[in-house]
């Protein structure tokens, strides 16, 4: 339990980020500050050429920014947050929101059912699963028919959580190609490849750790929905 206690002591995402990225960023910050000081005292030292961004990189970054803004504007669906319901909302109210006022999938056929929605409603009758919903989001609780424990939901969530980080890694890799990043792409890639790889890997680990380790103590009949408070 000593290892688990140690992990729990660093369950805050901010602390995790500092622990993971501090050893990487701190030397760079110190070196940058020293170079700035030397540049101020030695004006005769020629400055390094500025690495201009090529047009394809600017286009990629613009599209990337627009995609992120869309994600912020239209976050993933959450049965509770999207409908402004507390985590302990009555089961009947959840059924009404998820399936409509009739409580069935098809008004014309009252016998029609949607098995996954019914499975979700059945799971949400349990308080622990409501907290699992707040941790891992709508899709794992809805689609993972074999999941029973928080570890199961975490395992199912891994591809969903890692997908955005893989996309960021691909984007950064594209900017290191000369055909995309221009004549300075190789220099820029050599300077930042290791750092950005470490950052993305650390953020992915911190994201998964926050989902599993965050203390979801309910306050005022509600709790933080970690799946919506993404680090990315």
What tens digit of pLDDT does each residue of 139-150 get? 999 999 999 999
- Given a cut of 80, whether residue 119 has pLDDT beyond it is yes
| Sign of the four-CA dihedral 68, 137, 214, 207 | negative
pLDDT for 49 equals 53
pTM more than 0.85: no
d(CA 213, CA 84): 24
In a domain, 60, yes or no: yes
Q: How many domains does the chain have?
A: 1
Confidence of residue 73 (pLDDT cuts 50, 70, 90): confident
In a domain, 121, yes or no: yes
Angle at CA of residue 66, ends 62 and 72, nearest 5°:
145
- Beta-carbon contacts of 215 under 8 Å, excluding residues fewer than 6 positions away, are 11
In a domain, 34, yes or no: no
In a domain, 73, yes or no: yes
Confidence of residue 56 (pLDDT cuts 50, 70, 90): confident
In a domain, 44, yes or no: no
Confidence of residue 124 (pLDDT cuts 50, 70, 90): very high
Confidence of residue 190 (pLDDT cuts 50, 70, 90): confident
The domain of 22 spans 2-29+50-213
Q: Which of 26-30, 32-36, 66-70, 130-134 has the highest mean pLDDT?
A: 130-134
In a domain, 125, yes or no: yes
In a domain, 180, yes or no: yes
In a domain, 218, yes or no: no
- Given a cut of 90, whether residue 227 has pLDDT beyond it is no
């Amino acid at each position: 339990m000593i290892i688990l206690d140690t992990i729990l002591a660093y369950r805050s995402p901010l602390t995790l980020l500092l622990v993971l990225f501090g050893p990487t960023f701190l030397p760079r910050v110190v070196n940058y500050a020293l170079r700035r000081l030397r540049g101020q005292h030695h004006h005769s030292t020629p400055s390094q050429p500025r690495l201009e961004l090529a047009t394809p990189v600017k286009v990629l970054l613009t599209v990337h920014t627009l995609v992120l803004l869309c994600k912020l504007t239209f976050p993933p669906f959450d049965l509770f947050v999207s409908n402004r319901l507390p985590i302990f909302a009555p089961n009947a109210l959840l059924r009404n929101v998820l399936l409509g006022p009739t409580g069935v999938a098809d008004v014309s056929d009252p016998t029609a059912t949607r098995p996954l929605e019914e499975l979700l409603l059945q799971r949400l009758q349990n308080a622990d699963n409501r907290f699992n919903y707040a941790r891992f989001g709508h899709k794992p609780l809805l689609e993972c028919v074999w999941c029973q424990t928080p570890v199961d939901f975490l395992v199912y969530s891994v591809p969903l959580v890692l997908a955005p980080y893989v996309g960021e890694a691909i984007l950064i890799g594209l900017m290191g190609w000369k055909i995309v990043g221009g004549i300075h792409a190789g220099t820029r890639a050599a300077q930042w490849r290791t750092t950005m790889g470490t950052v993305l890997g650390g953020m992915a680990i911190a994201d998964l750790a926050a989902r599993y380790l965050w203390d979801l103590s309910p306050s005022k009949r509600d709790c933080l929905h970690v799946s919506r408070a993404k680090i990315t």
